[in-house]
Amino acid sequence: METLLKILAEIRPDVDFEENKELVDSGELDSFDIVTLVGELCEEYDIEIGADDIVPENFNSAEAIMALVTRLQED
């Protein structure tokens, strides 16, 4: 989680990722941020995130992103 929050903060220093639970739905994260984020995640955790994983529910909060990463790591 720590690492994730660090990655997130690097991409968007202006967003409070610990509090905001509607990152995508509120428009805080746009498609550019998501693509950049996905690139970092794939590298950091050695996973593959496909276009079909990119739904708002997976990126709305830091917890959701973590859950996605964990799920993909287990697969």
The residues that touch another protein, with contacts defined as CB under 8 A, are 27, 30-32, 34-36, 38-39, 42, 49-52, 54-55, 75
> At closest approach, how far in Å is the CB of 60 from another protein?
16
> At closest approach, how far in Å is the CB of 21 from another protein?
19
| 25: DSSP letter | T
Contact in structure between 12 and 25 (CB atoms under 8 Å):
no
| 28: DSSP letter | S
Considering beta carbons, is residue 42 or 66 the nearer one to another protein? 42
Spatial distance between the Cα atoms of 14 and 24, rounded to a whole number of angstroms = 15
Considering beta carbons, is residue 55 or 67 the nearer one to another protein? 55
